[in-house]
Structure 1
């Protein structure tokens, strides 16, 4: 088994590759690169965008740039500093990946490899290009990792623990088949924003990033607003306006047209601006191209509600109102210690070891 230090170095090289590729892809004139891995990553990004229409090259680039800032030796060492790594034993950890946004399961993959375990990866059909590229790069940097990364096409068996991410329906399936093994089984969650009406123009414009990044498909995407009674949505809609070009994306536009037709035929009251609809609704999961909203009377009552519904919520965007809140515009920029569903993946893997 390679030392933790060696595994961290390999992932830091991956971070450097992501940074180099971001610089290359962002340049106005993309001359042919002499870096073979930058060229290979360029091909993988293009292929992934063709394979899944939601994975635009812009969104993949955003994902890679975000990870490039975390995959440094300093960040990775700081992350693992608090854990007791003296009892590491190689276990076979099955990871069932979601496919809603690019590389959505990468954090699980990273944690599993760094804790010295073997990953048995079941890819989503929606995201099957990028992670195999990543693993091929890592294996070239540290050949001993070749035995630690296994892709499974058929039935999963011979594993010691499982990390599975899916919908509420698939979670029931996961619990039935994997419940007897140590597991992390994640269900559907959504993110919300709490507005008071005193937000600045900049804060609301930043919120548009939380709403529209990845077309709202991520569990960290804001799909619901909590607003005080009498809230004027004019400022909100004005702040969303810079994202208007999103309607030119065919899949998004089709969802917008379909959901608008459903709302109108059902005679639901909606507000819309040509590329985003908002609808008063108690649910947390809003359809693509729409955001739900709900009124609150007092912040204290809202805090109680959010605490009651915490199993449904991934992130809460607000400004100085709540513990563990996320700042406007930051939901899609989690740190290494921002664990999905607030379950410490590294601690789980170490206990399993």
Structure 2
């Protein structure tokens, strides 16, 4: 059996064992996460259900094929340092999985906001008999002297210099190490259709995980104004909160934005803890979505204007020429091989 086939099967089997609902270690990690108030059980279970579906659809094998990973083209022998974010439950899973799939030695600095869930997966992977080193911690200083070949980091552009300085001070990466930095902040939904299903998909894309992920929709482009669907959107949002109360969090600063919008007569939908406003400005305030009336040309304009801050553009039907898009329904349910900041991690690591 080839190295790649054996390697892929080992990773797949470890993922199967970890995702098993009867896996005690995973259930313990879930309980710790919930007990410490890091994430809600409902959000954790949604993430796990998505990963189970990914795995059942053979997406690990598909990712291997898509990336160009072969017995000859791999990252075996390379040291990769992964600095994981913690804004969503298991947000670092894809990065960890991709690094391990590539064959590289995985060194993960887990976020203190999400240390247990990803840690339970890494514990399972460590027992899989892979011929690569697996190490994780929540303290970056544990990687002093690592001399990593590549560093993967997800965070704000402002924090990049500080992170690089810290890694350099610790001698945790080689001087010539490549940094794969992910700084996308939000996604755009281009609604070239509107019905009940689209509305429900949009609400989840905006509100799931408190809208804190780079795949969360913060800009909606559609060919009609907010007033046309204001009441039905309000009803759908309230229904989502009723089913997902963990996402209903106070955001008092929105009162001032609401008052400003009223003063300049800007159309808006204000629900005290969430605001949708007609605006083409850069989305920078949490719990706020910008509603833009326009078509494909407006989408292209905004994508250019916002640059690298945009992760994805979602649509509900084909026909958006010249723009790379994803399905709106996949916003919070991505395939394993989705490309953060447009980069296939495995492909990048083996290059």
Partner in structure 1 of residue 121 of structure 2:
134
From 289, 301, 309, the counterpart of 1:304: 301
1:279, 1:290 within 8 Å by CA — same for their partners in 2? yes
Asked if residue 222 in structure 1 is aligned to residue 217 in structure 2, the reply is yes
Could you tell me the TM-score, scaled by structure 1's length? 0.82
* Deviation for aligned residue 1:340: 0.2
Partner in structure 1 of residue 59 of structure 2:
75
* Deviation for aligned residue 1:275: 5.2
From 161, 174, 186, the counterpart of 2:150: 161
* Deviation for aligned residue 1:41: 1.3
Q: Distance in 2 between matches of 1:66 and 1:128?
A: 20
Partner in structure 2 of residue 195 of structure 1:
191
* Corresponding residue SS for 1:199: coil
Partner in structure 1 of residue 318 of structure 2:
320
Change in Cα spacing, 1:233 to 1:275, as seen in structure 2 (3 Å) is farther
- Gapped runs of 5+ residues in structure 2? none
2:18, 2:121 within 8 Å by CA — same for their partners in 1? no
Supply the RMSD in Å over aligned alpha carbons. 2.8
Change in Cα spacing, 1:264 to 1:163, as seen in structure 2 (3 Å) is same
Residue range with higher mean Cα deviation, 85-94 or 236-245: 236-245
Change in Cα spacing, 1:149 to 1:70, as seen in structure 2 (3 Å) is farther
* Deviation for aligned residue 1:110: 0.9
From 105, 108, 126, the counterpart of 2:92: 105
Partner in structure 2 of residue 245 of structure 1:
242
* Deviation for aligned residue 1:59: 0.8
Q: Give the aligned length.
A: 328
Residue range with higher mean Cα deviation, 70-79 or 121-130: 70-79
* Deviation for aligned residue 1:143: 6.6
Could you tell me the TM-score, scaled by structure 2's length? 0.82
Instruction: Write the mapping of 1:1-353 to structure 2, written as runs, cut at 5 A.
Output: 3-17=3-17, 19-21=19-21, 35=22, 38-53=23-38, 55-71=39-55, 74-82=58-66, 83-85=68-70, 86-88=72-74, 89-142=76-129, 147-151=133-137, 153-155=139-141, 156=143, 157=145, 158-174=147-163, 177=168, 180-196=176-192, 198-228=193-223, 230-231=225-226, 232-234=228-230, 235-245=232-242, 248-249=245-246, 252-255=248-251, 258-264=252-258, 266=260, 269=266, 270-273=268-271, 276-296=274-294, 298-318=295-315, 319-322=317-320, 323-351=323-351
* Corresponding residue SS for 1:254: coil
Q: Distance in 2 between matches of 1:60 and 1:190?
A: 21
Q: Distance in 2 between matches of 1:183 and 1:307?
A: 24
Partner deviation per Cα, 1:285-334 (whole Å, 9 max, x = no partner):
354433222333x4324323324434221111223342432223221121
